[in-house]
Amino acid sequence: MIVKLKYIISCIGLLVSMDVFAQTFPAAKWSYTFSAGKINVGDSVDLVFHVELDKTWYIYSNNFAKDVGPPPTEINFEPHKSYRLVGKLTPLDAKEKYDDILDATYRYMDKKAAFRQKVRILSEHPVIKGDYTYLACSIVDGRCMPGDGNFEFTGITVLPRGN
């Protein structure tokens, strides 16, 4: 009975410590901005995703082949009749590296990362939201952590038609 109790207490301790570690170790902090404060229906606006990375971590960019090896960052927009994507998601200042083991080139960003997506606003109350996934890796020990989250752009002021 005592052995079973010690085993159960050990398992609970392990699960709690794993949960605390997962919650206190964010390698990447995401935020979102847009390029214009006030716009008209029909105008385009740049949506910018900013990623602050811990100083010894990097994330993979989104603009290389998925079959290279590491999973690229993905940003997915929920379709909505109030906006339309214009062009592709663009990484800003991605670095390029050739990997001998993979025999391929991939792109990554360290310290800070940013992605830009242009959208055309189609109504006075745009609903722009979605989700993202990424892989953050450490330059110190090679450890990698997948990450994900949701986003919603709020605060875009669309002037009433006729202004």
pLDDT digits (tens, 9 = 90+) for 93-118: 899 988 888 788 889 999 899 999 99
Cα diameter, the chain:
78
| 8 found inside a domain | no
What is the residue range of 109's domain? 27-159
- State how many domains the chain has: 1
**What is the predicted pLDDT for the residue at 111?**
87
pTM of the model: 0.79
The pLDDT assigned to 163 comes to: 56
As a whole number of angstroms, the distance between CA 23 and CA 53 comes to: 16
**5 assigned to some structural domain:** no
Quick check: is 2 in a domain? Answer: no
pLDDT digits (tens, 9 = 90+) for 3-47: 443 444 444 444 433 443 443 346 789 999 998 878 999 999 999
pLDDT of residue 52: 94
Tell whether 22 is covered by a domain: no
The CA distance from 61 to 48, in Å, is 14
How far lies 18's CA from each of 22, 24, 117, 133, in Å?
6, 10, 36, 21
**CA–CA separation, 105 and 155 (whole Å):** 38
Let me know if residue 18 belongs to a domain: no
Q: Say how many residues make up the chain.
A: 163
Domain assignment present for residue 95? The answer is: yes
CATH number at residue 44: 2.60.40.1250
Distance (Å, rounded) from C-alpha 16 to C-alpha 157?
44
Residue 53: Cβ within 10 Å count: 18
20 within some domain:
no
